[in-house]
Amino acid sequence: MPKVALVTGSNKGIGFAIVRSLCQQYNGDVFLSGRDAGRGTAAVQSLSSEGLKPLFQQLDIDDPESVRAARDFFLEKYGGLDVLINNAGIAFKNADTTPFGTQAEVTLKTNFFATRDMCNEFLPIIKPGGRVVNVSSVMSSIALNRCSPELQARFRSNDITEEELVGLMERFVQEAQAGAHSQGGWPDTAYGVSKTGLTVLSRIHARKLRHERPADQILLNACCPGWVRTDMAGPNATKSPDEGAITPVYLALLPAGAGEPHGQFVMDKKVHPW
C-alpha cells in the first residue's frame, strides 16, 4: 500500500507550496485539499502542468461531516494516513473593522477548534512512523509573552490537559466578546491567541502519543513557516511561499527512527523554547 500525505487548506499560499515540495520529495501519494472543489481541482491542474502528480480531496475543516468523510476515505483507501500537515487557517487584516469579539470567535473557530477536530479525528488513524505538523506562527510565541503571568504558566506547563486548554480558549472568546479580554490577561490579537492554543495543543497531543503509542514512533510538532507573501500576510512579507514550506516539509519528512523533535515549536528547522 502506498504511503500517503494530506495537507489541509492547500489550494493556495503556503499549503500549495507544501504540496509542491512534497510531490517533489515524498515517496507516496500527496493530497491537496480545500473547501472548494473548483479551486482545488484548478490547483491540482496547475501542479500537474509542472509535471507533478498531486491528488485532490475536498475537505472543509470547519465542517465536522467533511472532516469525518475525509478520515473515512483515507482509512478505507490507505488504511490510515502517514503524514498530516494541518495548514488551514485564517486571519483578519490589521485594518479590518470587524469587532474584536467577532474576530476572536471566527479566528479561533478555524485556527484552534477546527484544527483540534482534525487532530482528534485523524490522530487515531496516523500509521506507525507517521508525522503530524501543525502550522502555527511566531505570533503564538509573541502572544504567549503578552499574556498574564498566570496564563503563561498554564500555557507553558507540562500538565495542562486538552480540556483545560479548550476551556481557556473558550474563555478568551467569551471575554473578547464582552470587551473584557484585557482584564482577563489576554493580548489584543485573536490570531496570536489562536496560534498559542494550537502550539499548546501540539505539545499536549505529542505527550499523549508518547504515552499511549510509544512504540509507533510518531512525531508531532508545531512550526512557524515564517513571514510569507500570501493573501493572508500580504505582499511585503520576507519569504516566498516555497521558502515558507521548508520547515513544515522538513518536519513532515523527518527520517524513520528519529526521536526528535517531538512536541516542539520549530522555526527555520530549529527548535525554539516555548
pLDDT score of 70: 98
Q: Is 191 annotated as catalytic?
A: yes
Whether the Cβ atoms of residue 27 and residue 4 lie closer than 8 Å to each other: no
Q: Which amino acid, one-letter code, is at 61?
A: I
Using the CB atoms, write b or e for 174-186: b if 16+ within 10 Å: ebbeeeebeebbb
Tell how far CA 145 is from the center of its chain.
Answer: 21
**Is residue 10 exposed (0-12), middle (13-18) or buried (19+ Cβ within 10 Å)?**
buried
pLDDT score of 191: 96
138-146 and 149-156 helices, crossing angle to 10°: 140
Apex CA 70: angle with CA 116 and CA 226, to 5°?
50
Three cell numbers written together for 122: 485523524
Side-chain half-sphere exposure of 169, counting CA atoms within 13 A: 29
Q: Which is the catalytic residue, given 26, 78, 191, 250? A: 191
Instruction: Write the CA distances from 246 to 15, 188, 225, integer angstroms.
Output: 11, 30, 7
Residues 6+ apart with CB under 8 A from 235: 229
Whether the Cβ atoms of residue 83 and residue 4 lie closer than 8 Å to each other: yes
Q: What are the pLDDT tens digits along the chain (274 aa)?
A: 899 999 999 999 999 999 999 999 999 999 999 999 999 999 999 999 999 999 999 999 999 999 999 999 999 999 999 999 999 999 998 889 999 999 999 999 999 999 999 999 999 999 999 999 999 999 999 999 999 999 999 999 999 999 999 999 999 999 999 999 999 999 999 999 999 999 999 999 999 999 999 999 999 999 998 767 767 666 776 788 889 899 999 999 999 999 999 999 999 999 999 9
Domain 4-272 fold is Rossmann fold (3.40.50)
Q: Which amino acid, one-letter code, is at 72?
A: D
End-to-end CA distance of the chain: 38
Whether the Cβ atoms of residue 88 and residue 116 lie closer than 8 Å to each other: no
What's the rounded Cα separation, in Å, for the pair 36 and 23? 21
Instruction: Write the CA distances from 252 to 42, 154, 182, 270, integer angstroms.
Output: 25, 28, 37, 14
